[in-house]
Structure 1
Amino acid sequence: MLYIVPDYYEEFACMADRCEDTCCAGWKIMIDRRSLIRYGKVKGPFRKQLHKAICWLDGTFRQSKERRCACLDEQNLCEIYKNLGGESLCRTCRLYPRHIEEFEGVREITLSVSCPEVARILLNKKEPVRFLNCETDKSEEYEEFDPFLYSMLVDARSTMIQILQNRELSVEVRAGLILGLAHDIQSRVDRQRIFACEELFERYQRPEAFLYVEKALQEYQNCLKRRHYLEWQMLEELHFLELLRPQWQSLLLESQAILYGQGSEGFRSIFEEFDEWMAHHMPDWEIKCEQLLVYFIFTYFCGAVYDGRVYSKVQMAVSSVRCIYQLMAARWKKNEKELQVEDIVELVYRYSREVEHSDQNLEQMERMMEEHNWLAKACEKKRLKKGEGKDD
């Protein structure tokens, strides 16, 4: 079994009661069968409190009216941990914020930015992220697993990460390049031409590709009405996801009112001033943006081996970072044109908590990408062919 982790994996340590939020609120925490059996055998003074905290019928921890785990005390500490020790935590609590993706012979473990401390580590990281490998003798086989498709996706992801970490290009151009690459890969996967994808990897790293994407982005920036509508729609569609915390909806509504309440000209004015402010006061935003894009691409892209949604996964990555940027602009405007790194950390982990911690929401996000194809509409319909124009 090959294990893959990001190079900042060992930097994480839980902040416990020092954390500004808690991972034990808003989510229904599932208890694995082994832990349920162990909890059923607990004796002593903690037994009654623990058994009352568990919904035995569906194997979850009960929640208070505020949707806090019944085992969470007023200092945001876990009663199970305090009374029984860390080894007694269920699998979900023991693993978080680790996120695991399983493939045949490969297990990829990332740290979820839904944790404030992980978001802080990633956003403060200056160097390009590297991924570390470790092999064990353990092996597993998966039914209906396409090794050829997976191999191509791994190569494609490596190319995308290489593009995203090319700091000689603006981050907008880098995002446009991986979108174009994913679009062209999708067309070949749909036509069962997997082995024809390899030629694309070099094509999207040529200077002709950079110039093409720069031109398409400039045209998008100049089309105010189209940009205004598409970006409004990105935030609007988030309302249709499963709501995990009521405060999230309030944040979305407030942000939309600030950014879009004064029409397209007000939208233009806010973003022109915000972009200029960011360039002057937070010049490393492009690095933070790069780290977020690499995070989303590494975490979800190869999952296309199971559902074939290559393009949707890259669209979700890019639109997620763009949504976060919109929330940042609204927060900046609300705070009388001030923004701190801690504001960005907060908005990143709040976005991640709503989108990434619901399988229903992840599925809905990808379906929305397929239905609306927002980011494809932002550019010309023609695609690269040998650096010149159309896809074949």
Structure 2
Amino acid sequence: MRKAEIQVNYPHYYKNFSCIGGACPATCCAGWNISIDDRSLNVYKKAGGAFGSRLRSAVDFQHARFKSESGRCPLLDGQGLCDIYNHLGKAHMCRTCRTYPRHMEDYGNVHEVMLSLSCPQAARLILLDSRPFSLHSGVKVYRLSNRQARQAGPVPGMAHVFWVRSRLFHMLYDEKYLLPVRLKRMLRSFSGEDHWLEEWLSPNAFNKAHMARRLAMLFSLTPVCDGWEEFLEQSVDILNASSNTPEAQSSFLKGCAKQDYLFVNVAAHYLYMYFAGAVYDRDMAGKVRLMVFHVCTLSALSYARWLMGRPLEEALVDSAWIYSRQVDHEDVNLQALEMILKQ
């Protein structure tokens, strides 16, 4: 075994997260599959007593995940809290449940941790902070085998990817330009050519025909969460309704401009979350396109909530965690979007 020092990067708000448990408007224990790591599976197989029997009956050992009862984890109690936590303690929760909404990306001798937008409380923390995004770093010491230590070395090209990302953050926060122009400049920094996404950043991007085309792409995604298709259909119906007038579009855009940090935060979150992965696939342009796609899509979904009478901040937060559960936690959907954006 060898000691290895790993640099850990994290956003300025990361350590401020605290789960609100049963008060959360959307429990993370319902609506999707919860995978179980091998260590936890072994613990659950051996758990004793009446709760141990109940625990095993709630686990699909063949597929390493919890079973679902009416879309909910069977170990969720009446107050919306986890019975594994109640009976066995946090240490015996599976890795997914113990760490969510925290997430880590491994880049050799650099780890980047973040919060997932799919958690309503994390979404509020990420999106409603008016301060510019900033990255903090620390060092964590691990005891690794020789093989693990070799894998924890510097990843070739990582320094360059981080440098490019820092330049993109500079462009994102360049207040000489309105946000749509900043995003266009970021798109063109790689190809120098028009991409069809630029149409989504135009002043007429909120008219009914444009909105219908924009959200139609989402119907092709594999449903992940209960209620996603109903949410999407409702959004389309609202955007096609008579309330979506040019005057409403203008009012919404003025509100977005006045509180542009909201959608800047969306861009910053996805830029941090995705871009460093280009060190492995070399697709920097694709990472920026995906970020812009998410910003534009969330602006459309938020506009629909806003037309229903929701304040802009709440419209964005609600749209973001629902959308993130559908997109960020399903590789098939991310890959499908990446293919669409290459066209």
Q: 1:128-167 maps to which residues of 2 (within 5 A)?
A: 128-138=132-142, 140-142=149-151, 147-148=156-157, 150-167=158-175
Q: Which residue of 1 aligns with 2:120?
A: 116
Q: Which moved more, 1:117-126 or 1:340-349?
A: 340-349
Check 1:333–1:221 CA distance in 2 against 1; reply closer, same or farther (3 A cut): same
Check 1:309–1:230 CA distance in 2 against 1; reply closer, same or farther (3 A cut): farther
**Residues 329-378 of structure 1 deviation map (CA, whole Å, 9 limit, x = unaligned):** 1122222xx5252232111111111110111111111111113xxxxxxx
Q: Which residue of 2 aligns with 1:366?
A: 338
Residue 44 (structure 2) pairs with residue 39 (structure 1)? yes
Check 1:60–1:25 CA distance in 2 against 1; reply closer, same or farther (3 A cut): same
Q: Which residue of 2 aligns with 1:353?
A: 325
Residue 228 (structure 2) pairs with residue 248 (structure 1)? yes
Note the C-alpha offset of 1:79.
0.8
| % same residue | 30
**Residues 85-116 of structure 1 deviation map (CA, whole Å, 9 limit, x = unaligned):** 01111111111001111112111000111111
**Residues 168-194 of structure 1 deviation map (CA, whole Å, 9 limit, x = unaligned):** 43111221121112435xx9xxxxxxx
Q: Which residue of 1 aligns with 2:67?
A: 62
Q: Counterparts of 2:169 and 2:22 in 1: how far apart (Å)?
A: 35
Note the C-alpha offset of 1:220.
6.9
Q: Which residue of 2 aligns with 1:77?
A: 81
Q: Which residue of 1 aligns with 2:252?
A: 274
Check 1:142–1:271 CA distance in 2 against 1; reply closer, same or farther (3 A cut): farther
Stretches of structure 2 lacking an aligned partner (at least 5 in a row):
1-5, 143-147
Alignment equivalent of 1:322, drawn from 283, 290, 296: 296
Find the residue that maps to 1:3 and give its secondary structure: strand
Note the C-alpha offset of 1:154.
1.2
Check 1:147–1:41 CA distance in 2 against 1; reply closer, same or farther (3 A cut): same
Q: Counterparts of 1:18 and 1:218 in 2: how far apart (Å)?
A: 40
Q: Counterparts of 2:321 and 2:131 in 1: how far apart (Å)?
A: 21
Task: Give the partner amino acid of 1:176.
Answer: K
Task: Give the partner amino acid of 1:147.
Answer: P
Q: Which residue of 2 aligns with 1:206?
A: none
Alignment equivalent of 1:5, drawn from 7, 10, 14: 10
Q: Over the residues paired in the alignment, what is the CA RMSD in angstroms?
A: 2.8
Find the residue that maps to 1:94 and give its secondary structure: helix
Check 1:236–1:136 CA distance in 2 against 1; reply closer, same or farther (3 A cut): same
Alignment equivalent of 2:284, drawn from 310, 314, 319: 310
Find the residue that maps to 2:227 and give its secondary structure: helix
Residue 111 (structure 2) pairs with residue 107 (structure 1)? yes
Find the residue that maps to 2:50 and give its secondary structure: coil
Task: Give the partner amino acid of 2:252.
Answer: F
Check 1:142–1:181 CA distance in 2 against 1; reply closer, same or farther (3 A cut): farther
Find the residue that maps to 1:135 and give its secondary structure: strand
- Report if the CA contact (8 A) 1:104-1:140 is conserved: no
Stretches of structure 1 lacking an aligned partner (at least 5 in a row):
188-211, 372-392
- Report if the CA contact (8 A) 1:234-1:319 is conserved: no
- Report if the CA contact (8 A) 2:109-2:155 is conserved: no
- Report if the CA contact (8 A) 1:3-1:133 is conserved: yes
Q: TM-score, normalised by structure 2?
A: 0.87
Q: Which residue of 2 aligns with 1:199?
A: none
Find the residue that maps to 1:136 and give its secondary structure: strand
- Report if the CA contact (8 A) 1:101-1:108 is conserved: yes
Q: Which residue of 2 aligns with 1:375?
A: none
- Report if the CA contact (8 A) 1:220-1:227 is conserved: no
The alignment covers a number of residue pairs equal to 330
Q: Counterparts of 1:160 and 1:230 in 2: how far apart (Å)?
A: 27
**Residues 97-146 of structure 1 deviation map (CA, whole Å, 9 limit, x = unaligned):** 01111112111000111111111112221211211111234474449x96
- Report if the CA contact (8 A) 2:35-2:96 is conserved: yes
Q: Which residue of 2 aligns with 1:389?
A: none
Alignment equivalent of 1:52, drawn from 38, 46, 57: 57
Q: TM-score, normalised by structure 1?
A: 0.77
